[in-house]
Amino acid sequence: MKLLETKNIHKNFGALTAVENVDFSIEEGKLNSIIGPNGAGKTTFFNLISGKLKPTSGEILFKGQDITSLPPHKISKMGIARSFQITNIFPGLTVFENVRLAVQSRGKKNFSFFGSPTKLKDVNEKTLSILEKLNLADKRDSPGSNITYSDQRHLEIAMTMATDPILILLDEPTAGMSPEETDMTVNMIRALSQEVTVLLIEHDMDVVFSVSDEITVLYYGKIIAKGSPMEIKDNDEVQRAYLGGSK
Protein backbone atom coordinates (compact mmCIF):
# COMPACT_ATOMS: atom_id res chain seq x y z
CA MET A 1 0.00 0.00 0.00
CA LYS A 2 1.33 3.46 -0.93
CA LEU A 3 1.55 5.53 2.23
CA LEU A 4 3.01 8.64 0.60
CA GLU A 5 2.93 9.58 -3.06
CA THR A 6 4.02 12.65 -4.99
CA LYS A 7 2.77 13.23 -8.52
CA ASN A 8 4.76 15.42 -10.86
CA ILE A 9 5.99 17.65 -8.01
CA HIS A 10 7.79 20.77 -9.19
CA LYS A 11 9.31 23.55 -7.08
CA ASN A 12 10.81 26.77 -8.43
CA PHE A 13 12.58 29.53 -6.52
CA GLY A 14 12.43 32.26 -9.13
CA ALA A 15 14.46 31.04 -12.08
CA LEU A 16 15.96 28.17 -10.05
CA THR A 17 14.31 24.76 -10.28
CA ALA A 18 14.95 22.86 -7.03
CA VAL A 19 12.62 19.90 -7.61
CA GLU A 20 11.57 18.93 -11.12
CA ASN A 21 8.60 16.70 -11.96
CA VAL A 22 9.24 14.20 -9.17
CA ASP A 23 7.04 11.11 -9.05
CA PHE A 24 7.78 9.28 -5.82
CA SER A 25 6.08 6.82 -3.50
CA ILE A 26 6.84 4.91 -0.34
CA GLU A 27 5.02 1.86 0.96
CA GLU A 28 3.90 1.58 4.55
CA GLY A 29 6.40 -0.24 6.76
CA LYS A 30 9.39 0.38 4.49
CA LEU A 31 12.62 2.27 5.14
CA ASN A 32 13.49 4.38 2.10
CA SER A 33 16.49 6.64 1.66
CA ILE A 34 16.98 9.66 -0.58
CA ILE A 35 20.54 10.36 -1.66
CA GLY A 36 22.24 12.82 -3.97
CA PRO A 37 24.89 15.55 -4.00
CA ASN A 38 24.50 18.88 -2.21
CA GLY A 39 21.96 20.99 -4.06
CA ALA A 40 20.13 17.95 -5.42
CA GLY A 41 16.83 19.08 -3.87
CA LYS A 42 16.61 16.54 -1.04
CA THR A 43 15.78 18.90 1.84
CA THR A 44 13.49 20.95 -0.42
CA PHE A 45 11.62 17.72 -1.15
CA PHE A 46 11.25 17.07 2.61
CA ASN A 47 10.01 20.64 3.06
CA LEU A 48 7.37 20.04 0.41
CA ILE A 49 6.18 16.80 2.02
CA SER A 50 5.99 18.35 5.50
CA GLY A 51 4.20 21.50 4.31
CA LYS A 52 6.98 23.93 5.08
CA LEU A 53 7.04 24.77 1.36
CA LYS A 54 4.26 24.56 -1.21
CA PRO A 55 4.99 23.06 -4.63
CA THR A 56 4.87 25.21 -7.73
CA SER A 57 2.84 22.41 -9.29
CA GLY A 58 1.96 18.77 -8.67
CA GLU A 59 0.23 16.78 -5.94
CA ILE A 60 1.23 15.20 -2.63
CA LEU A 61 -0.94 12.37 -1.28
CA PHE A 62 -0.74 10.83 2.20
CA LYS A 63 -2.87 7.77 2.91
CA GLY A 64 -4.69 8.62 -0.31
CA GLN A 65 -5.58 12.15 0.83
CA ASP A 66 -4.39 15.28 -0.94
CA ILE A 67 -2.16 17.22 1.49
CA THR A 68 -0.57 19.51 -1.10
CA SER A 69 -2.02 22.73 0.31
CA LEU A 70 -2.20 21.82 4.00
CA PRO A 71 -0.16 23.78 6.58
CA PRO A 72 2.59 21.97 8.52
CA HIS A 73 0.61 21.56 11.76
CA LYS A 74 -2.24 19.78 9.98
CA ILE A 75 0.17 17.52 8.11
CA SER A 76 1.88 16.73 11.41
CA LYS A 77 -1.42 15.80 13.05
CA MET A 78 -2.18 13.47 10.13
CA GLY A 79 0.94 11.50 11.04
CA ILE A 80 4.01 12.95 9.28
CA ALA A 81 6.86 13.99 11.58
CA ARG A 82 10.35 15.17 10.68
CA SER A 83 13.75 15.95 12.09
CA PHE A 84 16.03 18.64 10.68
CA GLN A 85 19.66 18.99 9.61
CA ILE A 86 20.14 21.47 12.47
CA THR A 87 19.11 20.17 15.87
CA ASN A 88 15.71 21.56 16.83
CA ILE A 89 15.16 21.14 20.59
CA PHE A 90 14.43 23.38 23.59
CA PRO A 91 17.93 23.71 25.11
CA GLY A 92 16.71 25.28 28.36
CA LEU A 93 14.32 22.43 29.16
CA THR A 94 15.33 19.02 30.44
CA VAL A 95 15.36 16.00 28.17
CA PHE A 96 12.18 14.77 29.87
CA GLU A 97 10.44 18.13 29.48
CA ASN A 98 11.32 18.32 25.78
CA VAL A 99 9.68 14.99 25.05
CA ARG A 100 6.77 15.58 27.43
CA LEU A 101 5.84 18.75 25.56
CA ALA A 102 5.73 16.78 22.32
CA VAL A 103 3.57 14.09 23.95
CA GLN A 104 1.19 16.73 25.34
CA SER A 105 0.81 18.27 21.90
CA ARG A 106 -1.12 15.16 20.85
CA GLY A 107 -3.21 14.65 23.99
CA LYS A 108 -6.57 15.99 25.09
CA LYS A 109 -4.85 17.50 28.13
CA ASN A 110 -2.22 19.26 26.08
CA PHE A 111 -2.72 22.84 27.24
CA SER A 112 -4.25 22.77 30.70
CA PHE A 113 -3.52 25.95 32.63
CA PHE A 114 -4.94 24.60 35.90
CA GLY A 115 -3.42 21.14 36.25
CA SER A 116 0.18 20.33 37.10
CA PRO A 117 1.99 18.43 34.32
CA THR A 118 3.49 16.15 36.98
CA LYS A 119 -0.02 14.83 37.69
CA LEU A 120 -0.55 13.75 34.11
CA LYS A 121 0.40 10.14 34.74
CA ASP A 122 -0.31 8.85 31.24
CA VAL A 123 1.71 11.64 29.64
CA ASN A 124 4.67 11.05 31.96
CA GLU A 125 4.59 7.29 31.43
CA LYS A 126 4.55 7.69 27.65
CA THR A 127 7.40 10.22 27.86
CA LEU A 128 9.55 7.85 29.90
CA SER A 129 8.78 4.95 27.55
CA ILE A 130 10.01 6.98 24.55
CA LEU A 131 13.16 8.03 26.39
CA GLU A 132 13.92 4.40 27.24
CA LYS A 133 13.49 3.34 23.60
CA LEU A 134 15.95 5.99 22.47
CA ASN A 135 18.46 5.35 25.29
CA LEU A 136 17.87 8.74 26.89
CA ALA A 137 16.21 7.74 30.18
CA ASP A 138 19.42 8.19 32.18
CA LYS A 139 19.62 11.78 30.93
CA ARG A 140 16.00 12.68 31.63
CA ASP A 141 16.86 15.44 34.13
CA SER A 142 19.69 17.00 32.09
CA PRO A 143 19.02 20.27 30.24
CA GLY A 144 18.98 19.80 26.49
CA SER A 145 21.95 22.15 26.20
CA ASN A 146 24.10 19.95 28.47
CA ILE A 147 23.88 16.63 26.64
CA THR A 148 26.17 15.58 23.79
CA TYR A 149 25.50 16.50 20.19
CA SER A 150 24.54 12.93 19.29
CA ASP A 151 22.16 12.76 22.25
CA GLN A 152 20.61 16.05 21.11
CA ARG A 153 19.96 14.46 17.71
CA HIS A 154 18.43 11.44 19.43
CA LEU A 155 16.34 13.77 21.58
CA GLU A 156 14.97 15.44 18.47
CA ILE A 157 14.02 12.03 17.09
CA ALA A 158 12.38 11.21 20.43
CA MET A 159 10.32 14.39 20.14
CA THR A 160 9.16 13.41 16.66
CA MET A 161 8.21 9.92 17.88
CA ALA A 162 6.23 11.50 20.72
CA THR A 163 3.77 12.92 18.18
CA ASP A 164 2.60 9.39 17.21
CA PRO A 165 3.80 9.53 13.59
CA ILE A 166 2.93 7.09 10.86
CA LEU A 167 5.76 8.39 8.66
CA ILE A 168 8.96 9.96 9.99
CA LEU A 169 11.32 12.05 7.85
CA LEU A 170 14.91 12.01 9.09
CA ASP A 171 17.21 14.62 7.56
CA GLU A 172 20.86 13.55 7.90
CA PRO A 173 20.49 12.06 11.40
CA THR A 174 24.15 10.89 11.58
CA ALA A 175 25.78 14.11 10.31
CA GLY A 176 28.70 15.17 12.50
CA MET A 177 28.78 11.95 14.51
CA SER A 178 31.71 9.70 15.33
CA PRO A 179 31.70 6.13 13.97
CA GLU A 180 30.52 4.83 17.35
CA GLU A 181 27.71 7.39 17.53
CA THR A 182 26.76 6.61 13.95
CA ASP A 183 26.49 2.90 14.73
CA MET A 184 24.26 3.65 17.71
CA THR A 185 22.05 5.91 15.59
CA VAL A 186 21.80 3.30 12.82
CA ASN A 187 20.61 0.72 15.35
CA MET A 188 18.08 3.23 16.62
CA ILE A 189 16.78 3.90 13.10
CA ARG A 190 16.46 0.17 12.46
CA ALA A 191 14.42 -0.19 15.65
CA LEU A 192 12.21 2.78 14.76
CA SER A 193 11.54 1.30 11.33
CA GLN A 194 9.81 -1.62 13.03
CA GLU A 195 7.24 0.82 14.41
CA VAL A 196 6.87 3.52 11.76
CA THR A 197 7.63 4.07 8.09
CA VAL A 198 10.96 5.91 7.68
CA LEU A 199 12.13 8.22 4.90
CA LEU A 200 15.79 9.11 5.32
CA ILE A 201 18.14 11.69 3.81
CA GLU A 202 21.72 10.63 4.44
CA HIS A 203 25.18 11.27 2.96
CA ASP A 204 26.91 8.34 4.65
CA MET A 205 26.61 5.61 2.03
CA ASP A 206 27.54 2.87 4.50
CA VAL A 207 24.49 3.89 6.53
CA VAL A 208 22.25 4.14 3.48
CA PHE A 209 23.19 0.76 2.04
CA SER A 210 22.93 -0.99 5.40
CA VAL A 211 19.46 0.19 6.45
CA SER A 212 17.46 0.90 3.28
CA ASP A 213 14.78 -1.24 1.70
CA GLU A 214 14.80 1.13 -1.28
CA ILE A 215 16.92 4.09 -2.36
CA THR A 216 15.95 7.07 -4.50
CA VAL A 217 18.68 9.16 -6.13
CA LEU A 218 18.04 12.86 -6.75
CA TYR A 219 20.32 14.81 -9.07
CA TYR A 220 19.66 18.51 -9.70
CA GLY A 221 16.05 18.11 -8.66
CA LYS A 222 15.30 15.03 -10.77
CA ILE A 223 15.06 11.35 -9.87
CA ILE A 224 17.73 9.52 -11.86
CA ALA A 225 17.35 6.12 -10.20
CA LYS A 226 15.27 4.18 -7.71
CA GLY A 227 15.75 0.64 -6.50
CA SER A 228 17.22 -1.72 -3.93
CA PRO A 229 20.67 -0.99 -2.45
CA MET A 230 22.22 -3.53 -4.84
CA GLU A 231 20.47 -2.01 -7.85
CA ILE A 232 21.69 1.47 -6.90
CA LYS A 233 25.26 0.24 -6.40
CA ASP A 234 25.17 -1.34 -9.85
CA ASN A 235 23.61 1.66 -11.62
CA ASP A 236 26.11 3.26 -14.02
CA GLU A 237 24.36 6.64 -14.07
CA VAL A 238 24.39 6.82 -10.27
CA GLN A 239 28.06 5.89 -10.24
CA ARG A 240 28.89 8.70 -12.64
CA ALA A 241 26.67 11.32 -11.03
CA TYR A 242 27.16 10.66 -7.34
CA LEU A 243 29.02 7.59 -6.10
CA GLY A 244 32.32 8.63 -7.56
CA GLY A 245 33.32 6.45 -10.44
CA SER A 246 32.75 3.22 -12.25
CA LYS A 247 31.92 -0.06 -10.58
Rounded Cα distance, 50 and 29, in Å = 19
Domain identity same for 109 and 62 = no
How many domains does the chain fold into? 2
Phi, psi of 193 (to 5 degrees): -70, -15
Higher pLDDT, 110 or 119: 119
What mean pLDDT do residues 39-48 have?
94
Confidence of residue 88 (pLDDT cuts 50, 70, 90): confident
Say whether both 2 and 67 belong to one domain: yes
Query: Residue 72 belongs to what domain range?
Result: 1-79+165-178+186-247
Does 125 lie in the same domain as 240? Answer: no
Together in a domain, 34 and 156: no
pLDDT at 240: 85
Q: Are residues 54 and 109 in the same domain?
A: no
- pLDDT given for residue 120 in this prediction: 77
Q: What is the CATH number of the domain that holds 237?
A: 3.40.50.300
Burial of 19 (0-12, 13-18, 19+ CB in 10 A): buried
One domain for residues 127 and 56: no
pTM: 0.89
Q: What is the pLDDT of residues 140-151, one digit of tens each?
A: 999 999 999 999
Distance CA(237)–CA(241), nearest Å, equals: 6
Q: What is the pLDDT of residue 244?
A: 66
Helices 149-161 and 179-192: angle between axes, nearest 10 degrees: 10
The answer to whether residues 69 and 172 belong to one domain is yes
